[in-house]
Amino acid sequence: MRKIQNTRLASPAALWAAICLVLPVASPVAAQDAEETMVLFDGTNLDHWRGYNNEAIGEGWKIEDGILKFDGSDSGDIVTREEFADFDLTFEWAVTPGANSGVLYRAGMGDAAPYLTAPEYQILDNDRHADGKNKLTSAASMYGLYPSDKGTPKPVGEWNSGRIVIKGNRVEHWLNDTLVVAAELGSDDWKERLDKSKFREWEKFATLASGRIALQDHGDEVWYRNIKIRRIDSASDEK
């Protein structure tokens, strides 16, 4: 028989420290972010969405293989059920050849279309659509107002990452992890650009402090997935 050695047992504190080295420990920051982030589309349902002009969502918006696909039929824009003021919105998007769409934000209800109140993050096939020839209307631009000079969208059929960050009057558009638009609503630069655009005639355009997120029916086939939003505390300096 093998002789059993006289081994001193470790203290409870030492045992706990050893366990912590082996088991993964959740980050308090990550846990906080998970609580604050709302998944607007997880690939399974559209519970956070409704039609803009009608409660029902048009038949052209369909979920296939975890992707929100719009088939280009006359189905109307869709909007979130909730309003958002300051936020960090992330999403992935892809286009079919020549396609045009948009993600609009701080959209009001009750007008003919969301774009009458909401600025737009342009979704576009730059190579085949005419809007791609102008930086003011190319992919990830703030449509008609601020160009997307630095961003490079991926080829048709490939996924792009989009991000819109709003805090107060500060607006940022990101494309594939690159900041492509930085604007200050109400600034002198904003007013000058607005006065030169078609939006100058739209009294409520970009005036709402809170509103819906909208996905645009522009008559072309586009895809979205992994749509998430995190509210930003307007009293903090967080971006």
Quote the pLDDT of residue 33.
45
pLDDT tens profile 155-184: 999 999 999 999 999 999 999 999 999 999
Six token digits for residue 124: 């576009």
Quote the pLDDT of residue 236.
57
- Distance from first CA to last CA of the chain, Å, rounded? 67
d(CA 135, CA 126): 9
Quote the pLDDT of residue 36.
84
pLDDT tens profile 4-44: 344 344 444 443 444 343 343 333 333 334 448 999 999 99
The CA angle 105-108-109, to the nearest 5 degrees, is 130
Question: In which order are the strands placed within the sheet that holds 212-215?
Answer: 49-51, 78-80, 212-215, 100-107, 120-124
Six token digits for residue 183: 């604007």
Full pLDDT tens readout for the chain, 239 residues: 433 344 344 444 443 444 343 343 333 333 334 448 999 999 999 999 999 999 999 999 999 999 999 999 999 999 999 999 999 999 999 999 999 999 999 999 999 999 999 999 999 999 999 999 999 999 999 999 999 988 899 999 999 999 999 999 999 999 999 999 999 999 999 999 999 999 999 999 999 999 999 999 999 999 999 999 999 986 654 44
CATH numeric code, 38-231: 2.60.120.560
36 three-state secondary structure: helix
